[in-house]
């Protein structure tokens, strides 16, 4: 088994990729299209894994809530009122933000679903 | 820090709270980290990522695909082979461990294959695992200079495994044939591996095993009696296995190298290629034995060479050759030495001497089928 992280650990940085889509887009795909979409996604993630670039990735369930403070009161409520949802996240390693952006661009999700991917550099200790 | 807290809690319950808890916590945390680093160094390469990947819907399937891809499985088996055949483990235990972990044999099956008790096999396995722990044997294919020496050890174990199956010394035929098949399968895994550069000996051993295995089913008659090469029904020799054997032998000739396995394979190939015993290319075989003797000057090799000598230069010269090794302690207790001598004496009509040798061979042989064969020959000799 060789799911190893990239050997050049020193020069690698961690990035958080947040995948934003719209809530009901999945239901608009035909079963065949959905199957195809899943397969392409599996290949994409598998390649990141093999290259040692993927730390973790997961979809989010749609039960998100948001906790906020207002007038000294901390309250929680539904995550958002708009159609946009966070479909999931990728925690990856890349040499720099350009490589991280390239990785995000290669995500096959763009071919099937209106998507935005945020690419955030995670600040490391001493970074 | 979590870890050091746990450690601290453990310690504090036993020893009471230290005077300066925070300094102490820092020290414990540092030691823990060093421990982890040391452990990582020897850790088997099962990455902790895998557990993590399995928990997410997005990563579980790609991770499974990756782990169960043929290449990964083959890589794992190769790593496992090098771990099982680590030089710090005794040969007996290496073979038992290989059969258990790589071939999926049960302990009773292994015991049956080696004609020993299950208790004995269990002990060998325990000892092997102990060695792996004590010596922190890493789960990997060694690199660089180590590779050649370690590969040799792996091949040696595989050949031992094959011979356990092939030698007619004991055990159940079905199990023994499986041992041969497993030895071949493991070698095929090595041969198919991309990261090994020098596969000369892997091809040589594969050739040898295929060619010998091709004769497996012709070596006894339907009553279980052992047949000599001269007596075997050659139509029972397995052409497909033979073909594989020739294929690998050919591969060994592309490099300028020579090894015991290769020479033995070439000798076996001469036998396979012959239409019958008499038309065997004995000159070719004798010259191969010449090369073999230069690498391995053991009495067993000289004994086998004598048969080729008898075919090329006549029996009396072969007898002279055997005279030279008759006082060797291995030969003095080796039934095949005496049965070969007896064969030569019979061919030169020295029946009294032949009878003496056959009697010694019968006394030394441990296998019933072999004793029967020799007794039959002795009877034929008495009537002359």
Q: What is the band of B235 on the pLDDT scale with cuts at 50, 70, 90?
A: very high
Give Rg (Cα) of chain B: 28
Name which of B37, B55, B60, B62 to mutate to probe chain A: the one with the most chain A Cβ atoms within 10 A of its Cβ.
B62
> Which residues lie below 8 Å from residue B253, measured CB to CB, with a gap of 6+?
none
Cross-chain Cβ contact B76/A3 below 8 Å: no
Average pLDDT on B43-58 reads 65
Distance CA A43, CA B107 (A): 41
Per-residue pLDDT of B124-155, as tens digits, reads 999 998 988 888 888 788 877 788 878 988 99
Which one is predicted more confidently, B257 or B41? Answer: B257
Q: Hey, is the C-beta of B71 within 8 angstroms of any chain A C-beta?
A: no
Distance CA A85, CA A38 (A): 19
Per-residue pLDDT of B82-128, as tens digits, reads 888 888 898 888 888 988 888 878 888 788 777 778 999 999 999 99
Cross-chain Cβ contact A58/B58 below 8 Å: yes
| pLDDT for B15 | 45
pLDDT beyond 80 at B68: no
Task: Residue B13: count other Cβ atoms within 10 Å of its Cβ.
Answer: 9
Indicate the residue of A3, A45, A46 with minimum beta-carbon distance to B50.
A3
Q: What is the band of B243 on the pLDDT scale with cuts at 50, 70, 90?
A: very high
Name which of B48, B59, B68, B74 to mutate to probe chain A: the one with the most chain A Cβ atoms within 10 A of its Cβ.
B59
pLDDT beyond 80 at B292: yes
Q: Hey, is the C-beta of B76 within 8 angstroms of any chain A C-beta?
A: yes
Instruction: Kindly report the backbone phi and psi dihedral angles of residue B302, in degrees, each rounded to the nearest multiple of 5, phi listed first.
Output: -65, -35
Interface residues on A facing B, Cβ-Cβ cutoff 8 A: 1-5, 41-43, 45-46, 49-50, 54-59, 88
Per-residue pLDDT of A89-101, as tens digits, reads 999 999 999 999 9
* Distance to chain A for B139, nearest Cα, Å: 10
Which one is predicted more confidently, B4 or B161? Answer: B161
Cross-chain Cβ contact B59/A41 below 8 Å: no
* Distance to chain B for A92, nearest Cα, Å: 13
Q: What is the band of B3 on the pLDDT scale with cuts at 50, 70, 90?
A: low
Indicate the residue of B47, B56, B58 with minimum beta-carbon distance to A4.
B47
Residue of A nearest to B70 (CA): A1
pTM, to two decimals: 0.63
Do B358 and B372 meet the contact criterion of CB atoms below 8 Å apart?
Answer: no
Cross-chain Cβ contact B49/A55 below 8 Å: yes
Residue of A nearest to B64 (CA): A46
Indicate the residue of A2, A55, A58 with minimum beta-carbon distance to B75.
A2
The CATH code of the domain at A10-121 is: 3.30.70.1060
Chains A, B: CB contacts within 8 A come to: 58
Distance CA A92, CA A118 (A): 13
Q: What is the band of B170 on the pLDDT scale with cuts at 50, 70, 90?
A: low
* Distance to chain A for B101, nearest Cα, Å: 16
Domain boundaries, chain B: 1-41
Cross-chain Cβ contact A49/B56 below 8 Å: no
Chain B residue numbers with beta carbons less than 8 Å from the beta carbon of A54 are: 59
Per-residue pLDDT of B315-335, as tens digits, reads 999 999 999 999 998 888 888
**CB-count burial class (<10 Å; 0-12, 13-18, 19+) for B178:** middle
Query: Which residues share a beta bridge with A77?
Result: A66
Backbone region of residue A87 per phi and psi (left: phi > 0; alpha: psi in -120 to 50; beta: other values): alpha
Chain A residue numbers with beta carbons less than 8 Å from the beta carbon of B47 are: 1-4
* Distance to chain A for B164, nearest Cα, Å: 31
Distance CA B62, CA B53 (A): 9
Distance CA B162, CA B212 (A): 10
pLDDT beyond 90 at B203: yes
| pLDDT for B29 | 53
pLDDT beyond 80 at A26: no
| pLDDT for A105 | 96
Residue of A nearest to B56 (CA): A58
Mean pLDDT of chain B: 82
- For the residues of B36-62, what is the DSSP string, one character each? HHHHHHH--S--THHHHHTTSHHHHHH
| pLDDT for A14 | 94
Q: What is the band of B288 on the pLDDT scale with cuts at 50, 70, 90?
A: very high
Do B293 and B301 meet the contact criterion of CB atoms below 8 Å apart?
Answer: yes
Q: What is the band of B9 on the pLDDT scale with cuts at 50, 70, 90?
A: very low
| pLDDT for A81 | 64
Average pLDDT on B339-353 reads 93
Instruction: Kindly report the backbone phi and psi dihedral angles of residue B215, in degrees, each rounded to the nearest multiple of 5, phi listed first.
Output: -100, 0
Indicate the residue of B45, B55, B57 with minimum beta-carbon distance to A1.
B45
Question: How much of chain B exceeds pLDDT 90, in percent?
Answer: 38
Q: What is the band of A6 on the pLDDT scale with cuts at 50, 70, 90?
A: very low
Distance CA B98, CA B183 (A): 10
| pLDDT for A73 | 93
Chain A residue numbers with beta carbons less than 8 Å from the beta carbon of B45 are: 1-2, 4
Average pLDDT on A102-117 reads 93
Cross-chain Cβ contact A58/B61 below 8 Å: no
Cross-chain Cβ contact B65/A55 below 8 Å: no
**Helical spans, DSSP H, in chain A:** 31-50, 97-105, 109-112
Cross-chain Cβ contact B47/A1 below 8 Å: yes
How far is Cα of residue B204 from the mean position of the Cα atoms in its chain?
13
| pLDDT for B281 | 94
Query: Which residues share a beta bridge with A73?
Result: A70
Average pLDDT on A6-17 reads 74
């Amino acid at each position: 088994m060789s799911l190893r992280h990239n050997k050049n650990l020193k020069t690698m940085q961690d990035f958080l990729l947040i995948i934003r889509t719209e809530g009901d887009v999945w239901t608009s795909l035909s079963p065949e299209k959905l199957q195809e979409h899943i397969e392409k996604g599996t290949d994409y993630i598998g390649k990141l894994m093999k290259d040692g670039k993927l730390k973790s990735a997961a979809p989010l369930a749609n039960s998100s809530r948001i906790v906020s403070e207002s007038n000294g009161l901390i309250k929680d409520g539904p995550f958002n009122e708009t159609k946009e949802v966070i479909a999931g996240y990728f925690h990856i390693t890349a040499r720099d933000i350009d490589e991280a952006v390239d990785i995000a661009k290669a995500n096959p999700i763009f071919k099937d679903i209106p998507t935005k991917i945020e690419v955030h550099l995670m600040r490391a200790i001493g970074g | 820090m979590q870890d050091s807290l746990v450690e601290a809690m453990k310690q504090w319950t036993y020893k009471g709270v230290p005077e300066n808890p925070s300094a102490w916590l820092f020290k414990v945390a540092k030691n823990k980290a060093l421990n982890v680093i040391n452990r990582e160094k020897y850790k088997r390469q099962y990455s902790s990522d895998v557990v993590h990947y399995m928990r997410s819907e997005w990563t579980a399937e790609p991770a499974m695909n990756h782990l169960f891809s043929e290449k990964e499985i083959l890589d794992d088996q190769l790593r496992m082979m090098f771990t099982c055949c680590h030089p710090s483990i005794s040969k007996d235990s290496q073979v038992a461990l290989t059969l258990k972990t790589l071939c999926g044999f049960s302990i009773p099956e292994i015991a049956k294959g080696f004609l020993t008790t299950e208790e004995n096999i269990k002990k060998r396995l325990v000892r092997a695992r102990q060695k792996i722990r004590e010596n922190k044997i890493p789960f990997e294919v060694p690199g660089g200079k180590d590779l050649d020496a370690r590969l040799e050890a792996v091949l040696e174990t595989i050949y031992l495994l094959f011979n356990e199956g092939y030698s007619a010394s004991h055990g159940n035929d079905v199990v023994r044939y499986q041992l041969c098949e497993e030895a071949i399968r493991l070698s095929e895994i090595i041969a198919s591996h991309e990261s090994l550069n020098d596969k000369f000996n892997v091809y040589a051993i594969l050739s040898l095993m295929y060619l010998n295995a091709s004769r497996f089913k012709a070596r006894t008659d339907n009553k279980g009696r052992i047949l000599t090469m001269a007596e075997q029904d050659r139509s029972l020799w397995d052409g497909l296995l033979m073909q594989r054997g020739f294929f690998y032998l050919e591969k060994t000739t592309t490099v300028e190298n020579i090894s015991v396995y290769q020479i033995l394979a070439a000798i076996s190939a001469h036998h396979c290629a012959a239409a019958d015993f008499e038309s065997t290319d004995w000159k070719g075989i004798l010259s191969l034995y010449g090369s073999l003797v230069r690498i391995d000057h053991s009495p067993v090799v000289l004994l086998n060479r004598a048969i080729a000598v008898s075919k090329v230069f006549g029996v009396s010269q072969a007898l002279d050759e055997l005279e030279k090794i008759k006082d060797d302690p291995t030969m003095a207790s080796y039934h095949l030495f005496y049965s070969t001598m007896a064969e030569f004496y019979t061919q030169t009509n020295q029946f009294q001497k032949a009878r003496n040798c056959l009697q010694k061979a019968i006394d030394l042989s441990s296998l019933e089928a072999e004793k029967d064969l020799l007794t039959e020959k002795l009877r034929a000799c008495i009537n002359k």
